[in-house]
């Protein structure tokens, strides 16, 4: 079925399933017009937040419907699996996409709330544009999570990329922001080119863009072209490796994170990274599973490369962070290491005895969302108060803002993977998965990387509690305080009761239903 036939098959009832995406686009268009007339640009921020929360409500409602309908039978006596397929399965609403959309929308809402307290009018003249451009960026990430076709997937990727290029460079008079935007555009263009190149080889082998049709084509013809499959998969991994900032494709991250406004840094660290992981799951699981034949172990090699990439990201990210004295650059390299942790369950899930990789990934992504956005919210408050993002600006924070310092300790302990925090159990679940799969070497790399990270995470704690202070007050805006404490409380909650969340995901998610696209000819 070609793209025209797919579009013609989209009925009004099908379009209703896209309500979360329509809401974001409608709010963006409305705010772009209203921004010309609103007397106070801050209103745009609150309306943007309202649009995100409205979309989030529809996603949660739809996820609840999917959970309630799963296992029931329809009028024909067929069992309902809780998956909604639109346009010949080129767009999917399932547990996989719904859970990731919740992560993206929550992260974007926290980003907007953080921005209301830390973004200065003097830094960004067009604050209305700053806020409503977040909406199409989130919509692009949501499209990437739901796509079952490479064309739809690439449209979502570019929608996310182009809007974030603008957001990174939105501080027009800041040289660092301009430099960061330029580097991000260049590396983003290279990433898109690599992804397209890999997609073109898959299309060349199978003559299809639908992921289900590609899987079918690989089973029938792909095993005769193992070299082309290797090229396709490795170019896709390299292009998406840039998007998730995994070593050795991470060199843009530190400069871009430092030059972007702090809330946009948080958005890139969680939403952009999470959306790229969604694409890796969709493509690799729909295609690489069917790429092997006797004597041609393409599948095993692809998943081994993912584990090697994970190990490189963990070790290089952790060791490079040891010499960083800027807090945002440190968080960028911490994000490189965390990208490695999140790659591990993806690389392990090919093993027959380990089938809970997605649950481990989503749990750690949720913990990473909370600890990263919370930590960057604190960094934004300190940067606004001190005028810089250096680690030294945290000196004596406990004496100047004791509760903010306590919250920052929670985030740093979670990032380091220490109890009782969400980050501890997130790393523990992934580590146990690696041990269960008998990949002891990647488990050893995880432990070594975590131990190395203690040095720079506890360096920040030492600054806050054991260094002298200039006694200047740190004012925490109300909205930033809300973000900080929401993230801190949720981080501790995930560390106290991690089991129910992981069990719910594992009990509803299945690889066959949620990741394998079924081609409709």
Phi first, then psi, for residue 74 (nearest 5°) are -90, -170
Does residue 333 sit within a domain? Answer: yes
Does residue 187 sit within a domain? Answer: no
pLDDT at residue 42 in the model: 63
Does residue 36 sit within a domain? Answer: no
Does residue 485 sit within a domain? Answer: yes
Token pair for 478: 């109300």
d(CA 79, CA 82): 9
Does residue 441 sit within a domain? Answer: yes
Tally the domains of the chain: 1
Predicted confidence pLDDT, tens digits, the chain (521 residues): 444 555 445 566 677 788 999 999 999 999 888 887 766 656 888 899 999 999 999 999 988 888 776 655 444 333 445 678 887 778 888 888 899 999 999 999 999 999 887 776 556 656 678 888 999 999 999 999 998 889 999 999 999 999 999 999 888 778 888 899 999 999 999 999 999 999 999 998 888 888 888 888 888 876 778 888 889 999 999 999 999 999 889 889 999 999 999 999 999 999 999 999 999 988 888 887 777 666 568 888 888 999 999 999 999 999 999 988 899 999 999 999 999 999 998 888 665 555 567 888 899 999 999 999 999 999 988 888 777 888 888 888 888 888 999 999 999 999 999 988 999 999 999 998 888 888 899 999 999 999 999 999 998 999 888 877 666 778 888 888 999 999 999 999 999 988 888 888 877 777 767 776 665 55
d(CA 283, CA 205): 15
Helix (H, G, I), strand (E, B) or coil at 73: strand
Does residue 149 sit within a domain? Answer: no
pLDDT at residue 295 in the model: 59
Does residue 400 sit within a domain? Answer: yes
pLDDT at residue 75 in the model: 42
- Number of helical H runs and strand E runs in the chain: 24, 2
pTM for the structure as a whole: 0.91
Q: Which domain holds residue 340?
A: 297-516
Residue 329 near residue 176, CB atoms below 8 Å: no
Does residue 181 sit within a domain? Answer: no
DSSP 379-422: HHHHHHHHSS-BGGGGTTHHHHSHHHHHHHHHHHHHHHT-SSSH
Question: Please, what sign has the CA dihedral across residues 238, 96, 494, 444?
Answer: negative
């Amino acid at each position: 079925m070609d793209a025209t036939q797919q579009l013609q098959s989209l009925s009004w009832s099908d379009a209703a399933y896209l309500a979360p995406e329509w809401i974001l686009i409608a709010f963006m268009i409305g705010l772009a017009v209203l921004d010309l007339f609103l007397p106070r640009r801050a209103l745009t921020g609150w309306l943007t937040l309202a649009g995100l929360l409205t979309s989030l409500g529809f996603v949660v409602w739809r996820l609840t419907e999917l959970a309630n309908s799963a296992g029931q039978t329809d009028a024909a006596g067929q069992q309902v699996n809780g998956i909604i397929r639109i346009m010949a399965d080129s767009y999917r609403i399932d547990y996989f996409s719904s859970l990731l959309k919740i992560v993206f929308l929550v992260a974007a809402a926290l980003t907007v709330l953080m921005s209301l307290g830390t973004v200065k009018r003097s830094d960004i003249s067009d604050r209305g544009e700053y806020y409503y451009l977040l909406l199409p960026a989130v919509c692009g990430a949501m499209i990437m999570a739901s796509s079952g076709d490479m064309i739809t997937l690439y449209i979502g990727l570019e929608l996310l990329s182009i809007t974030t290029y603008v957001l990174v460079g939105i501080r027009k008079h800041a040289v660092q922001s301009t430099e960061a935007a330029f580097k991000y555009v260049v590396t983003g263009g290279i990433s898109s080119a690599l992804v397209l190149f890999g997609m073109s080889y898959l299309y060349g082998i199978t003559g299809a863009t639908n992921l289900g049709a590609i899987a079918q084509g690989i089973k029938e013809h792909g095993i005769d072209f193992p070299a082309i499959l290797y090229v396709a998969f490795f170019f896709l991994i390299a292009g998406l490796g840039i998007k998730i900032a995994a070593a050795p494709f991470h060199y843009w991250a530190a400069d871009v994170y430092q030059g972007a406004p702090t809330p946009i840094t948080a958005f890139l660290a969680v939403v952009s990274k999470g959306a790229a992981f969604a694409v890796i799951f969709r493509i690799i699981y729909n295609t690489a599973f069917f790429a092997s034949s006797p004597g041609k172990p393409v599948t095993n090699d692809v998943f081994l490369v993912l584990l090697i990439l994970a190990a490189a990201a963990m070790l290089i990210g952790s060791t490079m962070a040891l010499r960083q004295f800027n807090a945002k650059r440190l968080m960028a390299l911490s994000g490189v290491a965390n990208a490695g942790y999140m790659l591990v369950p993806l690389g392990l899930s090919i093993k027959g005895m380990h089938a809970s990789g997605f649950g481990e990934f989503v749990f750690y992504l949720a913990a990473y969302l909370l600890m990263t956005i919370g930590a960057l919210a604190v960094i934004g408050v300190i940067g606004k108060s001190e005028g810089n993002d250096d680690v030294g600006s945290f000196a004596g924070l406990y004496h100047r803002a004791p509760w903010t310092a306590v919250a920052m300790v929670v985030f740093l302990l979670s990032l380091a993977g220490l109890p009782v925090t969400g980050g501890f159990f997130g790393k523990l679940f992934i580590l146990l998965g690696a041990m269960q799969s008998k990949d002891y070497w990647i488990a050893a790399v995880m432990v070594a990387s975590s131990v190395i990270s203690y040095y720079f995470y506890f360096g920040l704690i030492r600054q806050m509690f054991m260094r002298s202070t200039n006694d200047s007050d740190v004012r925490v805006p109300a909205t930033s305080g809300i973000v900080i404490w929401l993230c801190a409380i949720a981080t501790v909650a995930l560390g106290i009761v991690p089991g129910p969340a992981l069990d719910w995901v594992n009990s509803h998610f299945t690889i066959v239903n949620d990741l394998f696209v079924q081609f409709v000819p």
